[in-house]
Structures are given as C-alpha cells and as structure tokens.
C-alpha cells in the first residue's frame, strides 16, 4: 500500500504508523516493551464469543 502510493517514503510511513499503533496497544495492555508482551495477554480466535 505504502509503496504503491508513496514509494520508499510511503513504505517508511506505513512502518512508522504500525509502530505507533503497536506502541499504543502495548501501553493499553500494560506492557512497557515487547519483552513484556506474553502469550497470556494475547487473545486468540478461541477466546472470542461464538
């Protein structure tokens, strides 16, 4: 998507946005860094209501 719309800068923008979103979601989940993200904090399809 980013490459098609903006070349190398578009790719960089997409990666930057993904990084921001991951950081926000980690903070919302109580993790300060990637090492604190445990599988017990992650939802899988089986955790969702049927």
9 within domain boundaries = yes
36 within domain boundaries = no
Overall number of domains in the chain: 1
Read off the pLDDT of each residue in 10-18 and give the average, rounded to a whole number.
Answer: 94
Q: Write out pLDDT tens, residues 24-48.
A: 999 998 888 888 887 676 788 888 9
CA–CA separation, 2 and 14 (whole Å): 6
50 within domain boundaries = no
The model's pTM is: 0.65
42 within domain boundaries = no
10 within domain boundaries = yes
44 within domain boundaries = no
37 within domain boundaries = no
Q: Which of 48, 26, 22, 28 is nearest to 38 (CA)?
A: 26
Can you give the residue range of the structural domain that contains 16?
1-31
The DSSP result for 11-49, as a single string, is HHHHHHHHHHHHHHHHHHTT-SSGGG--GGG---GGGS-
Dihedral of alpha carbons 1, 21, 17, 34, sign: negative
């Amino acid at each position: 998507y980013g490459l098609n719309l903006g070349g190398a800068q578009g790719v960089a923008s997409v990666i930057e946005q993904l990084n921001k979103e991951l950081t926000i979601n980690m903070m919302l989940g109580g993790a300060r860094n990637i090492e604190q993200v445990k599988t017990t904090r992650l939802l899988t399809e089986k955790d969702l209501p049927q």
